[in-house]
Amino acid sequence: MNYRFIINQLGLLLIVLSAVMGAVVLWVLADWLLGNASELQAVEALLTAAGIGLLSGGVMWYVGRKARSDTFGRRDALFLVAISWMVGAGLSALPFFLWVVFHPSVDSSHPFGNYVACYFESMSGLTTTGATVLSGDKPYDIESLPRGLLLWRALTHWLGGLGIVVLFVAVLPSLGVGAKKLFHTESSGITPSGVRPRIAETARILWIIYVVLTVAQIVLLRLCGMGWFDSACHTFATVATGGFSTYNASTGNPAINTPALIVIIFFMILAGANFGLYFHVLRGSIGSIFKDTEFRFYLVILAVASLIVTGSLLMNQPEITITNADVVETGVGNSALHGAFQVVSIQTTTGFATADFNQWPFLAKAVIVAVMFIGGCAGSTAGGIKVVRLWVMMKVLWAELEHVFNPNVIRPLRVGNTTVDNSLKLAVLGYVLGMALLVFGGSIVVMMLEHGNPRCDYTTAATASVATLCTIGPGLNAIGATENYGWMSTPTMAFLSILMAFGRLEIFALFVLVHPRFWMKD
């Protein structure tokens, strides 16, 4: 293992995170000059964290500056990726923690008084999960945080989303065990074998696409009447399919009107699609997006699930409870808006909530849990098993069925123009099974860790496991749309932080660290 280069790269990561914290401080100061005095609360915490990050990052970078990058192989890259999220969350948690340390006026029972809870929050940010430890009760709520911390919180999403897209599409396209290989061959313009051969070039294009999407959504939300600050924070959480809001009621806050919700739905759908597709758009070929098998299947699932949830709402209940506790009548308009918003938010693994879907009819909840597993497309910022894997899995199962009565028939399985070979089929089925086993095992561990806590029923534990592994955020019951993870014990929060990293890095990428051969010399 090339530890020297790994330390060097981790140092760079810490420096970048510190620089972003510094930028937040600059924004806070500017905001203060414009008249928001209370904002200065976060400055000390952010500056101290940035200082610690800069110092430790600088030392690490310096220690490893002479490392040879030409002996940096696949295992080193995997190890670096796995440890990056762990270490990055460690630094990103500091501003939250230090804010409580520096301000004795903040109640000492504030969730951020516990470093593990801060770590959970920042891991949730960087993995674009969006699960929070902040409750809805003052002074422990989201809206009581200084705006500097809210901005930093939203930026962890944005940085994590960018990181994962660049990682999976440009740096290690084969990391996404299977699904990425498909993408690899499908959109030839963006992979090492295609038109633009170099990682740096691909990463640059993705970065541009990401920024363009971000700017576009901020402007649109502003045009819908939201303030710049809220527009930016919600945009960071949208394009990263994260889910942190600046409001206690998430997107159910009346400040986000219906046009703004529709803008958010639209951008959640874009963020859950393969970013490689937008490369074609940049080249002017918009139609080619709709020729992509995965993208079309993705839209079909979103549409069908939204229809079922909308119908289920219309038929079963007279009222919909908004996350800010308002109640609206279940008309076609409200059902379609909240049904579609919730399906899109959950399937793209964003996790925004306009309505308390925990109170919805069973069928609606079942559909929501089902799309939790599915998630977005490969090469997006979304989590879950990914639409392309679902597609391949369905095709394989259908073929296995025919295999029972036609044992000698072999039909090639195609996704777009690519033929899926047996080893790729195995990778896909293995991934889905691995995810199912992790969800099952994860929910058992949560139940054990929360032993004796009456709030943690089976449904809570199982959906906590799915919601973190698939980087969604909210689940059902005690972690439902209007609830949070702050009531859990410290060990549970630590465990769920690890699950988030597992899910974000496509489970196997982190699991390899336990494989003895990973540490052996060949």
- According to CB under 8 A, which one of 444, 487, 489, 494 is a site residue for a copy of itself? 444
Nearer to a copy of itself, 65 or 74 (CB): 74
Q: Tell me the sheet residues that pair with 413.
A: 420
425, 331 in Cβ contact below 8 A?
no
Beta strands 418-420 and 319-321 are: unpaired
Number of residues counted as binding a copy of itself (CB under 8 A): 50
Stretch that binds a copy of itself, among 14-22, 64-72, 347-355, 436-444 (CB under 8 A): 436-444
Residue 403 is a binding residue for a copy of itself (CB under 8 A): yes
Distance between first and last Cα of the chain:
12
Applying CB under 8 A, among 3, 228, 290, 398 the residue interacting with a copy of itself is 398
Binding mask 35-74 for a copy of itself (x = CB under 8 A): ---------------------------------------x
Token pair, residue 403, equals 């295999």
Which lies closer to a copy of itself via its Cβ, residue 175 or residue 498?
A: 175
Window contacting a copy of itself (CB under 8 A); options: 13-21, 154-162, 420-428, 478-486: 420-428
Task: Give, in order, the Cα–Cα distances in Å from 134 to each of 43, 81, 120, 140, 249.
Answer: 20, 28, 11, 6, 12
Distance CA 336, CA 265 (A): 12
Least separation in angstroms between residue 312's CB and a copy of itself is: 10
User: Which of these ranges, 49-57, 60-68, 239-247, 422-430, lies near a copy of itself under the rule CB under 8 A?
Assistant: 422-430
Nearer to a copy of itself, 138 or 411 (CB): 411
Of 228 and 518, the one with the shorter C-beta distance to a copy of itself is 518
Q: How far apart are CA 323 and CA 357, in angstroms?
A: 9
Under rule CB under 8 A, residue 521 binds a copy of itself: no
Cβ neighbours of residue 157 under 8 Å, at least 6 residues apart?
A: 125, 126, 128, 130, 236, 237, 240, 242, 243, 244
**For the chain, counts of helices (H) and of strands (E):** 19, 4
The single-letter code of the amino acid at 519 is W
Report angle CA 273, 216, 202 to the nearest 5 degrees: 50
Q: Is 518 in the site for a copy of itself (CB under 8 A)?
A: yes
Closest CA to 164 of 498, 435, 505, 471: 505
| 199 alpha carbon, distance to own chain's centre | 23
Backbone angles phi, psi at 283, to 5 degrees: -85, 5
- List binders of a copy of itself among 281-340 (CB under 8 A): none
Distance, in Å, from the CA atom of 405 to the CA atom of 398, rounded to the nearest integer, reads: 12
Question: Pick from 393, 453, 490, 498: which binds a copy of itself (CB under 8 A)?
Answer: 393
CB under 8 Å, gap of 24 or more: what pairs does 411-417 form?
415/182, 415/186, 415/293, 415/294, 415/388, 415/391, 416/182, 416/186, 416/291, 416/292, 416/293, 417/186
Closer CB to a copy of itself, residue 279 or residue 431? 431
488 binds a copy of itself (CB under 8 A): no
Interface residue with a copy of itself, options 32, 207, 229, 511 (CB under 8 A): 511
404 near a copy of itself, judged by CB under 8 A: yes
Least distance between a copy of itself and beta carbon 438 (Å) = 11
Among 51, 113, 259, 434, binds a copy of itself (CB under 8 A): 434
Sign of the alpha-carbon dihedral angle for 173, 174, 178, 181: positive
Instruction: Tell me phi and psi for residue 16, to 5 degrees.
Output: -60, -45
400 binds a copy of itself (CB under 8 A): yes
Residue 425 interacting with a copy of itself (CB under 8 A): yes
Q: Which parts of this chain interact with a copy of itself (CB under 8 A)?
A: 74-75, 78, 174-175, 177, 362-363, 366, 370, 393, 396-398, 400-407, 422-423, 425-427, 429-434, 436-437, 440, 444, 447-448, 451, 458-459, 508-509, 511-512, 515, 517-518, 522
